[in-house]
Structure 1
Amino acid sequence: MKHQVTTAWLMAAALGAAMNAQAHEGEGHPSTFGEAGTAARVTRTVSIDMTDNMRFTPASIEVRQGETIRFVVKNSGQLQHEFVLGSAQSLQEHHEMMKKFPQMKHTDPNQVTVPAGKTGEVVWRFTKADKVQFACLQPGHYEAGMKGQVQVK
Structure 2
Amino acid sequence: MLKLSGVLIACAALLGGVNNIALAHGEKKTGNTPVVKEQTDWGIAGDTAAVARTIEVSMGDDMRFKPGQLTVKEGETIRFVVHNKGALLHEFVIGTKAENAKHAELMLKFPGMEHDEPYMAHVDPGKTGEIVWTFNKAGKFEFACLIAGHFQVGMVGTITVAAK
Q: Same fold (TM over 0.5)?
A: yes
The match for 1:80 is 89
Cross-structure match for 2:18: 12
Quick check: which has more Rg, 1 or 2?
A: 1
2:48 to 39, 45, 68: 39
Shift of 1:102: 1.1
1:119-130 matches, within 5 Å, as 119-130=128-139
Question: Hey, what's the Cα distance between the residues in 1 that align with 2:14 and 2:74?
Answer: 44
**Greater shift in the superposed pair: 57-66 or 106-115:** 106-115
Q: Secondary structure at the match of 2:16?
A: helix
Q: Which residue of 2 aligns with 1:3?
A: none
The two structures have a TM-score, normalised by structure 1, of 0.84
- 1:57-85: per-residue Cα shift (whole Å, max 9, x none)? 00000100000000000000001000000
- Structure richer in helix, relative to its length: 1
Please report how far the alpha carbon of residue 9 of structure 1 lies from its aligned counterpart in structure 2 after TM superposition. 5.8
C-alpha contact 1:46 1:72 (8 A) present in aligned 2: yes
Q: Structure 2 vs 1, CA of residues 7 and 46 (structure 1 numbering), >3 Å: closer, same or farther?
A: closer
Q: Secondary structure at the match of 2:152?
A: coil
Q: How big is the shift at 1:36?
A: 0.4
Structure 1 residue 10 displacement after superposition: 2.3
In structure 2, the residue matched to 1:143 is 152
Find the partner of 1:30 among 39, 42, 53: 39
What is residue 92 of structure 1 aligned with on the other side? Answer: 101
The one of 116, 122, 146 aligned to 1:107: 116
Alpha-carbon offset, residue 27 of structure 1? 2.7
Checking the alignment, whether the CA contact within 8 Å between 1:106 and 1:113 is kept in structure 2 is: no
Instruction: Provide structure 2 residue ranges, at least 5 long, that are not aligned to the other structure.
Output: 1-11, 23-34
Consecutive aligned runs of 4 or more in structure 1 exceeding 4 Å deviation: 6-9
Residue aligned with 2:114, SS = coil
TM-score w.r.t. structure 2 length?
Answer: 0.78
Calculate percent identity across the aligned residue pairs.
44
Where does the alignment leave 5 or more consecutive residues of structure 1 unmatched? 1-5, 17-25
> Size of the alignment, in residue pairs?
139
Rounded Cα–Cα distance in structure 1 between residues aligned with 2:138 and 2:53: 17
Deviations 1:18-77 (A, max 9, x none): xxxxxxxx7312001100001111101000000100000000001000000000000000
Instruction: Give the corresponding residue for 2:76.
Output: 67
